[in-house]
Amino acid sequence: MESKIIVPKTSIIRAHQEPEDFTFWKGFRMPGTEIPGLIAAGTFYKKGRNFWDVMNKKNAVVVELKDHYFKKLIIEVQNPEEILHLLNTK
């Protein structure tokens, strides 16, 4: 697994936090770990290759990407509102 993923801001389509994005089924697990309701970490394939790193979905954001290896990054952050503002500001 990667220790970090670097994405240029020009590759970010949008960042959001919508409940329908945090479904029970993350997709087909590639290299990754999932204990439903507890942790999802690694690469999952659902309408594209997505990277998950989430334990608490209340603090998770979805970052949609273009021209990148991953279609979406679903990541847990300390302050979702602040991160959403930073990522969505041009």
Locate the domains of the chain by residue range: 10-88
- pLDDT tens figures, 34-83: 667 777 888 989 889 999 999 888 999 999 999 999 999 999 999 999 99
Secondary structure of residue 11 in the 3-state scheme = helix
Which spans in the chain are helix H? 80-88
Residue of 2 and 32 predicted with greater confidence: 32
Residue 2, classified by CB atoms within 10 Å of its CB into exposed (0-12), middle (13-18) or buried (19+), is: exposed
Instruction: Read off the DSSP letter of residue 20.
Output: G
Tell whether the model's pLDDT for residue 85 goes beyond 80: yes
Q: 61, 84 in Cβ contact below 8 A?
A: yes
69 — phi, psi (to 5°)? Answer: -60, -40
Per-residue model confidence (pLDDT) at position 88: 94
Tell whether the model's pLDDT for residue 16 goes beyond 80: yes
Q: What predicted TM-score, i.e. pTM, was given to this entire model? A: 0.85
Per-residue model confidence (pLDDT) at position 22: 72
